[in-house]
Structure 1
């Protein structure tokens, strides 16, 4: 059966419900009803009805404090979606490894953390390895900074206030203003770097993945001796092209 419509059919209440879930995720997973209403720009009775419907289905949870948080039924959906996104990313990561010789990763922002959803390791005997599913704070990793650079400054400040900025090496950024200035530069230049900020002796280059269904980024990491400033000049354009090609592929899925 064909419908005589030329524009996509949508259900506005469903659109609003998904927008509320995204607002909760952007806020770290929990918000007061008043804050959620302000963020959504909708009447409070409308937000309340939508949220209570999702509470009844388990997609939102009402805490004892009366605040609302993401619900447990989202975990299964999120895990399945992350696995699928990671599977789609593997050919692009494998191509990066073939062209650059270093370990390639993909990560997404979940709540306040960067989560690695796919990896293809380098063939070098000395190589970087990060377990798929590993969660890291984003302030001290290249892929994390590429994710944060896609957020508004106020959202980044709120995230850093929740997580803090613990130091992992003498090179870790621990001042929010310093990091925010770096994020502005990342937006301008189109790539992020971790210069031994997460682990001594390791450099990482990361690029955002535009148009992905969640905030995502690709990264390539290796020993500092191989990931020299000269090598990085070669790495960046290859990664940008890979991210653009993969984003276009996702748009066709």
Structure 2
């Protein structure tokens, strides 16, 4: 009697099927996936990959986080299989699970969202230049890149003595205003996960060097609406940053300057200007 195939078999079985099919695949004469007939698609299609893509499409198209039940029903996949796929995607940061157990697309896609990043850079550039001219200091756009913050657009101050980071350079999240502003928008579990891969080395006498201190600082960031690096990354530097909300990219804007020019009394005023700019750069903003 033929053995009945389980609808919830593991991925090893799909691998076996792929190996058996390899001898029938003509790699050099494969059809274009966009125009392949159903018969051709059946021959070349990888079921596991297609199911993962369907799952990611559901997460991308919805405006709110989804539960496991909603996902497995939406793509007609057994619940246990859906959870196993989600668990694997979460391990590689392509999916995140919040405190309520709901799923959203994760930070692993940041590097792939090149078009989103290009659009954000294009929109941000004139505003960064405007802010630089207004305050006379360097203005930056940064995004979360793995466990660090990457500077993707910089409007450099025209002053002879200035604080500046080159576009493409990276700094730790725990000692930068950009990193703090972005981290303050993430679930605590995600922040702890990021810091597991980082040695909290003191860069100055003021650098935060413990996870608990960093989490406490993030609570202050959320309360006041902006982040401050007060000589934590550079002894004579000060930086103020505000997160850009409503985008798929974990991003923030900042102003950086020598501490002698950007005094603590100036911080709230600069933060107000940054907040106004960040609102304009939101998807529904007027910028």
Answer yes or no: same fold by TM over 0.5: yes
Pick closer, same or farther for the CA change 1:20–1:244 going to 2, 3 Å.
closer
Alpha-carbon distance between aligned partners in 2 of 1:171 and 1:50, rounded to the nearest angstrom: 40
- Residue by residue, what CA displacement relative to the aligned partner does 1:86-110 show, whole Å, maximum 9, x if unpaired? 2221011111112111100011112
Partner of 2:144: 109
1:17 aligns with 2:56: yes
Match of 1:236 among 266, 271, 276: 271
Q: CA deviation digits over 1:98-136, x for unaligned, max 9?
A: 211110001111221111111101121111121111122
Deviation of 1:146 (Å): 0.4
Query: Does structure 2 conserve the Cα–Cα contact (< 8 Å) formed by 1:92 and 1:246?
Result: no
Per the alignment, residue 27 of structure 1 pairs with none
Deviations 1:6-31 (A, max 9, x none): xxxxxx9757315779xxxxxxxxxx
Quick one: distance in 2 between partners of 1:176 and 1:231? Answer: 28
Q: Does the 8 Å CA contact 1:104/1:219 hold for their aligned counterparts?
A: yes
Q: Which residue of 2 aligns with 1:159?
A: 194
Q: Note the C-alpha offset of 1:166.
A: 1.5
Q: Which runs of 5+ in 1 are unaligned?
A: 1-11, 22-36, 53-59, 61-66
Q: What is the alpha-carbon distance in structure 2 between the residues aligned to residue 152 and residue 50 of structure 1?
A: 18
Assess if the C-alpha contact under 8 Å between 1:85 and 1:117 holds in 2: no
SS of the residue 1:140 aligns to: coil
TM value normalised by structure 1: 0.72
In structure 2, list runs of 5 or more residues that go unmatched. Answer: 1-50, 61-66, 73-78, 95-108
Distance between the aligned counterparts of 1:200 and 1:15, measured in 2? Answer: 49
Match of 2:15 in 1: none
Q: Secondary structure at the match of 2:174?
A: helix
Task: Measure, in 2, the Cα distance between the counterparts of 1:76 and 1:240.
Answer: 25
1:154 deviation in Å?
1.4
**Conserved? CA contact 1:138–1:144, under 8 Å:** yes
1:50 deviates by 8.6
- Given that 2:58 and 2:71 are in contact with CA atoms closer than 8 Å, whether structure 1 keeps it comes out as no
Give a deviation string over 1:184-230, Cα, whole Å, max 9, x none.
01001000000111111010000011112211100000000001012
Partner of 1:29: none
In the other structure, the counterpart of 1:199 is 234
The 2-side partners of 1:195 and 1:51 are apart by 39
Cα 1:217/1:45, change in 2 over 3 Å: same
> For 2:197, what is the secondary structure of its paired residue?
helix
1:25-84: CA deviation from partner (whole Å, max 9, x where unpaired): xxxxxxxxxxxx98x9753423667999xxxxxxx8xxxxxx7577xxx79744454344
What is the RMSD of the two structures over their aligned residues, measured on CA atoms? 3.2
Q: TM-score, normalised by structure 2?
A: 0.64
Q: Are residues 19 and 133 of structure 1, via their aligned partners in 2, closer, same or farther at CA, if it must alter by over 3 Å?
A: farther
Q: Where in structure 2 are the equivalents of 1:60-79 lying within 5 Å?
A: 77-79=112-114
Following the alignment from structure 1 to structure 2, what is the Cα–Cα distance between the partners of residues 224 and 108?
Answer: 24
- Please say if 1:46 is aligned against 2:82: yes
